[in-house]
Amino acid sequence: MPRIQVLESHVADLIAAGEVVERPASVVKELVENAIDAGASALTVEIQHGGMTYIRITDDGCGMEPGDVETAFLRHATSKIRTEYDLEAIGTLGFRGEALAAIAAVARVEVLTRTAERDFGVSLTLEGGAVTGREEAGCPKGTTMVVRDLFYNTPARLKYMKKDAAEGAAVFAAVQREALAHPEVSMRFLRDGKQELLTPGDGQLRSAVYAVLGRDLALGFTEVKGSGEDGVTVEGFASLPACCRGSRSCQYFFVNGRFIKSRTLMAALEEAYRNQHMVGKFPGCVLHVHTRLNGVDVNVHPAKTEVKFVSEKRAFDTVYHAVRGALEGEVRRPQAVIPAARPRAHDTVTPNQTAFSAVRADPVRPVRPASPPPAARPAAYAAGPLEPTGGLPLHDFARPRFESRPVPETADKGAAAAPAECGKPPAPSSPAGAAPRPAGPSPAPERPAPAHGPQRAPAPETDTWTVRGELFHTYILVEQGEKAYFIDKHAAHERMNFDRLKAAGYTPMVQRLLTPVVFTPAPEEGAALLQNLDVLSAFGFECEDFGGGAVLVRQCPDYVDAGDVEATLLELAGTLAEGGRADPDGARDALMATMSCKAAIKGGQKNGPEELRRVAEAVMSGAVKYCPHGRPVAVELTRNQLEKLFKRA
């Protein structure tokens, strides 16, 4: 066994640096927090090549005395604490005295600093933790830190770094979090010479939210304010239930001005939204929790993003009641009433008509030439076999887009021809699962033989099924013998889309957008998209960084409408942000499931009988059993079970 010995100082420094400096974003976070602790009211962060070759942070804080500059780069050198009792009430962002030493150990560092009382400042250069130069220099009050060639002396760390765009996005996200944590400090961020962020520094959290998250996200927030026991308070903003997102990437929690990740606060937030938002959606927030300094322990992890509350329950209750109260107040808020248009002569209500206080309009549908006039559409589905209608076919995005089919001369000019793969609508006397009746006179309907393989014998009568209608524009009601089936049309169609994508090996047809789509995602969502441009390209999206945290989309798959591009990419960003690249096959399936969901028909949406029949066919044939997310697509109810409900059994 080798002898035990003490490591050399530079080796120990490299090991310690690995705990604090993981990537350029770690360097920026530590240096920005030092600037804030120094009392800066404005600071600028500038990076090049994702921060790997150049990081410059300039602040107008108090600066450092000439005798303290070199001492600041020694391990465990700090001005924040003196005794062990100070650890119980830490009021600054930094206190360990490890960050500067760790950064200097793995990079080339330049420091320029001056206090207000001195006429000249000090310029200090270090390389690999060793001082290589020192001189007096003229400079403004404050401190400028320049970090070059990060990890130049640790090649093993370099190979774990991501592309410049990904590292730059992580740095940007770190600056955004600090800007939200300290709205009283004006922060400016430049990447490769281009300004991407500027906060006003007016001390108003709402201003910081607008500058960092963008107008669209900010307008979806409602104000939160509350207090709990033992001086715990919370203030900030939380998203309206209708503005929840597909991931937790827009949740920002701060404790005493420090960005943290807390399962306790996350659980309190989501518990406040219980039964108020869609399943699978998550609320966003920017919440500042203030507590006594000795009410929280921040000395848990070197990154200082994990904390422990003295009373987790107290923190949970404070956040829960504050958010819940804000949401209930939002629900009770009076809504603006839009006066109805002046009635026309033929709209006047006569004594024989019933007057209604409000008229609910059907949702606006895109105008398609193949649609019949409104008068030709049935108002409701009657019990029994469905009549042929001009219902729109499902949007089959796996099928080639340009396809010509002959139209029978006997077809109704006002109705749309059904897609070839669907067959014609069934005749009134045929069950929905049976073969369609030929156009000409025929003694009896025949089921067409399959294109390949032996011809099957006709199915027994018990295998036939009939679509009896639709419930709540969401569930298809199918009768088969002594059983009834309730089919979730969205889940079933989602699975149909997913299976077609996998069977086709996913070679999407794409469409160039006449007007590129520009949107501003949350910082983590934007970073996930920019880090996975190759994955998005494989799925038909052409995206690029538009600056200022915005993403520009020039191209999308042909089955995604231009109006759904932003929502689809946000869903994909949530999947990618949760580590989808670690399992390529799983990530591919997850992305295909997301896009299948977006392209599927929606619950609550009106669909024609032919559309419903196609979905029912897929389910009743056994080809579709579960949606890509594992939910069942159909529920079975037997006649005996139904009769038991009526006490007839």
pLDDT tens sequence across 390-408 = 333 434 433 333 344 444 4
Residue 568 phi/psi, 5° resolution? -65, -45
Say whether pLDDT at 236 is over 90: yes
Which whole-number Å values give the CA distances from 578 to 269, 278, 529, 571, in the listed order?
Answer: 19, 20, 12, 11
- The predicted pLDDT at position 201 comes to 94
210 and 197 Cβ atoms separated by less than 8 Å? no
Burial of 456 (0-12, 13-18, 19+ CB in 10 A): exposed
- The predicted pLDDT at position 197 comes to 92
Residue 236 β-bridge partners: 224, 287
57's CB contacts (< 8 A; 6+ apart) are 28, 31, 32, 35, 43, 44, 45, 46, 144, 145
Taking the mean position of all CA atoms in its chain, how far away is CA 618?
31
Q: What angle do CA 261, 264, 266 make, to 5 degrees?
A: 65
Give CA–CA dist 86/90, Å, rounded.
Answer: 6
Q: Which of 325-339, 556-570, 634-648 has the lowest mean pLDDT?
A: 325-339
Give CA–CA dist 479/483, Å, rounded.
Answer: 6
Chain segment 272-311, per-residue pLDDT in tens: 998 777 777 889 999 999 998 888 877 666 666 788 888 8
- The predicted pLDDT at position 417 comes to 38
Give CA–CA dist 396/496, Å, rounded.
Answer: 9
Dig out the tokens for 509 from the structure: 């047809």
Range picked from 417-426, 483-492, 539-548, 590-599 for highest mean pLDDT:
483-492
Q: Which amino acid is at 96?
A: R
Q: Could you give the angle at which helices 205-213 and 164-181 cross, rounded to 10 degrees?
A: 170
Say whether pLDDT at 426 is over 60: no
Give CA–CA dist 323/226, Å, rounded.
Answer: 8
* 259 vs 522, residue with greater confidence: 259
* 458 vs 260, residue with greater confidence: 260
Residue 106 phi/psi, 5° resolution? -125, 20
Chain segment 630-649, per-residue pLDDT in tens: 778 888 889 888 888 888 86
129's CB contacts (< 8 A; 6+ apart) are 10, 13, 73, 101, 104, 105
First to last CA, the chain: 80
What is the Cα gyration radius of the chain? 32
What domains can be seen in the chain, in order of their start residue?
Answer: 9-201 (3.30.565.10), 214-329 (3.30.230.10), 461-649 (3.30.1370.100)
Give CA–CA dist 243/66, Å, rounded.
Answer: 52
3-state secondary structure of 401: coil
DSSP state at residue 480 = E
Range picked from 115-129, 455-469, 510-524 for highest mean pLDDT:
115-129
- The predicted pLDDT at position 281 comes to 82
525 and 475 Cβ atoms separated by less than 8 Å? no
- The predicted pLDDT at position 233 comes to 93
Q: Which helix (H) or strand (E) holds 54?
A: strand 54-59
Length of the chain: 649
The secondary structure of 143-210 as a DSSP string is EEEEEESTTTT-HHHHTT---HHHHHHHHHHHHHHHHHH-TTSEEEEEETTEEEEE---SS-HHHHHH
Say whether pLDDT at 372 is over 80: no
- The predicted pLDDT at position 303 comes to 67
Give CA–CA dist 262/244, Å, rounded.
Answer: 19
Q: Which of 77-81, 256-260, 503-507, 592-596 has the lowest mean pLDDT?
A: 503-507
The secondary structure of 111-139 as a DSSP string is EEEE-TT-SSEEEEEEETTEEEEEEEE--
Whether the model clears a pTM of 0.85, i.e. scores above it, the answer is no
Chain segment 10-22, per-residue pLDDT in tens: 677 666 666 678 8
* 84 vs 440, residue with greater confidence: 84
Give CA–CA dist 555/517, Å, rounded.
Answer: 9
- The predicted pLDDT at position 387 comes to 42
Report the percentage of the chain scoring pLDDT > 90: 32
Its sign, for the CA torsion 363, 369, 374, 376, is negative
Which whole-number Å values give the CA distances from 484 to 335, 426, 489, 600, in the listed order?
Answer: 42, 20, 15, 24
513 and 554 Cβ atoms separated by less than 8 Å? yes
231 and 245 Cβ atoms separated by less than 8 Å? no
Three-class DSSP labels, 550-569: EEEEEEEECCCCHHHHHHHH
Residue 85 β-bridge partners: none
Confidence band for 144, pLDDT divided at 50, 70 and 90: very high
Nearest by Cα to 258 from 503, 460, 37, 576: 37
Taking the mean position of all CA atoms in its chain, how far away is CA 173?
15
Give CA–CA dist 276/239, Å, rounded.
Answer: 12
Q: How many CB atoms lie within 10 A of CB 336?
A: 4
Dig out the tokens for 623 from the structure: 């080809």
* 191 vs 390, residue with greater confidence: 191
DSSP state at residue 304 = -
Residue 638 phi/psi, 5° resolution? -85, 165
- The predicted pLDDT at position 202 comes to 94
Q: Which amino acid is at 444?
A: A
- The predicted pLDDT at position 504 comes to 65
Give CA–CA dist 280/588, Å, rounded.
Answer: 19
Confidence band for 52, pLDDT divided at 50, 70 and 90: very high
Q: How many CB atoms lie within 10 A of CB 345?
A: 5
Nearest by Cα to 201 from 189, 188, 190, 214: 188
Alpha-carbon torsion, ordered 208, 214, 217, 222, to 10 deg: 30
The residue-averaged pLDDT of 339-360 equals 41
3-state secondary structure of 221: strand
Q: How many CB atoms lie within 10 A of CB 360?
A: 5
